[in-house]
Structure formats: structure tokens, C-alpha cells
Amino acid sequence: MHTITTTEALAAFCAEAAKRDYVTVDTEFLRERTYYSKLCLVQLAYQDDAASDAVLVDPLADGLSLEPLYDLFRDPGVVKVFHAARQDLEIFFVDAGVIPAPLFDTQVAAMVCGFGDQAGYETLVRKIAKASLDKSSRFTDWSRRPLTDAQMTYAIGDVTHLRDVYEFLSSELRKTGRHKWVAEEMDVLNDPATYRVDPEDAWKRVKTRTNSGRFLAIVRELARFREKYAQERDVPRSRVFKDDALVELASTKPQTEKDLSRARLLLREARRGEIAEGILSSIKAGLSVPNDDLPKPDRSREKLQVNPAIADMLRVLLKAKADQEGVAQKLVASSQDLDALAAGERGLQALKGWRKDVFGKDALELCEGKVALAVQGARVITVAR
């Protein structure tokens, strides 16, 4: 098992990988103590039987630059294969502003090929590669050196078996003509906006029970401060203050550090110094927001007049269509999509692209009373009315 610790060795491997049709990629990282993921290991493999066809890259090695890997990521002639790529891609985008292309996510492809919702890598390896994985090293500390034999064996298996998974799924997609389906799903992963966290929007992730504009204004200011503070110092949001403490602060509106000392949920470190100053400034800013500029909660879902009978029929239709096409239901439409469709919404992803062909067209006709559901043997079908 070869571990790369120099830029020159990485460049040599990437030069060989560039001669192949694809390269499989995985990472190991830590995020418990930082805002951004700390990259600890990169695993790479290309299709070959040589001993050098799979390597571990140590990004913690002194002097090693990942630029040769990023050049490979930019090479349009080599498919970059990941499984559940979202977190891996975020690491590379934050580090170098690069998103590997062309991109293939085997988790998405597996959903298209009928392996169920969010098929795990271990499941695909067992079903496709007929192999088993030892997952005991999954949650170990990947930043410690040297790595153990068990860690290295686990890590390399995440890219060697991935070759068999990729080749099988790619073959299935060619047979069914569904490559376009997967390509459409890659659009989100290829969008830089997927990996950017704007402090201005951080408040929208905080769950609250109050829709008061003034309360939400304070939540917005506190969430903005927390996000910027965490990003600039590379610490987890929860190390600044947690969501429950944020909501408590927005409710009690402390004005002084003495007031902060009475906060039940606030960490001791946040009751003084820079964090305390930021909290008090944020509350003051939230209280001074003009009424016309107060944030408004998204009540679009609350206003939906969902017809439960139509929603239930759409669920039956979705299951029937997904089973018929051998594709994961969740990939076609979510439960919220079905409720929105039953309430009359039409600008949904489930009504666009390949989803429209599989489900959307029949779903619209069902909502409009143009077709009905019927049972034919063991199958549910649509019939014209």
C-alpha cells in the first residue's frame, strides 16, 4: 500500500491517472473542532491491475501541495468518481475553489438504478463487488500519524471497490439510457453556491417557535455574528453558542454583560470578551431594525391548502412509478413535493426534466382529473377518464 508524501510523487501518480478514463476519489477528514473540514487523507485509484493503481495521499506531509490533484480534477477527459460526494467536494472547493469535473456520484447513480434511497457504500460494495468492508476504523482520528494498518486498509478500500461499483452502475446507465438523469443531478454538486455559507442567510437555519418580526431580526443578527465569528476563527458554530442559546438570547434580549451572566444556556466563554461584545451588539442591532426591514418568515408552506385525498393518491402513484422504473422514490419527489403538488403548486423539481417523464406528467393529469388510478394484477396503473 503506497502513501504519497511529496508533490513530485503526487504529480507522477496524477499523470498516470490522466491517461485513464476515470479516477476514484475519497477523503478522510475531521470537523469536530473546526468550522471547515480538516483534510487528513485523500485516497485515489484508477482502473488498472498494477500495484501502483491505488494510493493514499497525505496532505499533512510537510511541503506537499495538492495542485497536481487539482489539475487532474480540472482535466475534462477524466471522470472523477465519488460516493456521496457533497462533503468531499466542499473540502476541495474551500481549499482551492475547484470542483472536480466531469463528476460522477455513485450514490446518486445507485438511486437511479434502483438501489433504494441514499444507498450506502458498504451496501453497494456487498451487492456489486461481492466484498465486505471492515468499518471499525471509520471514526478514528485521521490526523494522527503514523496511520495504523487497519486505517490504511479501510481507507484504500473506499476507492478500490469504488471502481467495481462505478463500472457496474455506468454500464447499467448505458443500458437504460439514464446517464442524462445522473447528469441532471450533478448540477447541484457542480454549483459553487452549494458550498458557500452566507452569514446573511444563517438565521434561516435556526428553528424558532415565534414568527415575530422583531424576534427574527434579533435572531438574524445573532446568527450573522456567530457565522462570521466561526468562519474567521475556524471554530464550530456550537463553540460560539448553540442554537438553543441563540433563541434564548433573542427572547431575553440582554443589554449588559451582567445580563449575559444570567443566561441559562450560554457557554461560560461567551459571557465575556469578543463573543459577549458581539452578542450585545447583535441584539442592539436587531432592536434597531426599522419595521419595514424586519425579516419575514417563510409561510408559503403554511398557506398551502393541501387536499389530503389527492396527496394520498400522488403517494400511491409515486410508489407505482418508482417501482416500475426501478428508481428511488426520494430521488423523484419528496413528501413535501407531493403535498405542494396536491395544493396546486406547479414550479416543482418533480415536474421538470427526467422526473416529468417518470412521474410529473401523470401526476399533473391525476391532479387535473384526466386520469384515475386502477389495479391491474399486482400493479397500480393510470387509466384515462
pLDDT of res. 136 = 84
pLDDT of res. 167 = 97
Q: Give the DSSP H/E element, type plus range, for residue 275.
A: helix 273-287
pLDDT of res. 262 = 94
Return the residue matching grid coordinates 441532471: 184
- Write the DSSP assignment of 130-179 as a string of letters: -----GGGTTS-TTSSSPPHHHHHHHHHHHHHHHHHHHHHHHHHHHHT-H
Q: Is 84 left (phi over 0), alpha (psi -120 to 50) or beta?
A: left
Distance CA 90, CA 288 (A): 36
- How far out from the chain centre does Cα 117 lie? 14
- How far out from the chain centre does Cα 35 lie? 16
Instruction: Provide mean pLDDT across the span 52-80.
Output: 97
- Measured CA to CA in angstroms, residue 99 lies from 21, 128, 213 at distances of 18, 28, 38
pLDDT of res. 47 = 83
Instruction: Provide mean pLDDT across the span 264-282.
Output: 96
More confident residue, 303 or 165: 165
Domains of the chain, earliest start first: 2-195 (3.30.420.10), 199-293 (1.10.150.80), 308-384 (1.10.150)
pLDDT(141) > 70:
yes
Distance CA 188, CA 103 (A): 11
| HEC assignment per residue over 323-365 | HHHCCCHHHHCCHHHHHHHHCCCCCCHHHCHHHHHHHHHHHHH
Beta-bridge partner residues of 380: 375
pLDDT(52) > 60:
yes
pLDDT(50) > 70:
no
Q: Give the rounded percent of residues in the chain with a pLDDT score beyond 70.
A: 97
- How far out from the chain centre does Cα 235 lie? 20
- Closest by CA position to 204, among listed 218, 222, 220: 220
Q: What are the φ/ψ torsions at residue 54 (nearest 5 degrees)?
A: -140, 135
Residues 6+ apart with CB under 8 A from 30: 37, 38, 40, 141, 142, 143
Beta-bridge partner residues of 374: 381
Crossing angle for the helix pair 179-190 and 149-176, to the nearest 10 degrees: 130
pLDDT of res. 221 = 98
pLDDT digits (tens, 9 = 90+) for 301-330: 556 688 899 999 999 999 999 999 999 999
Residue 210 DSSP SS3: coil
DSSP state, residue 303: T
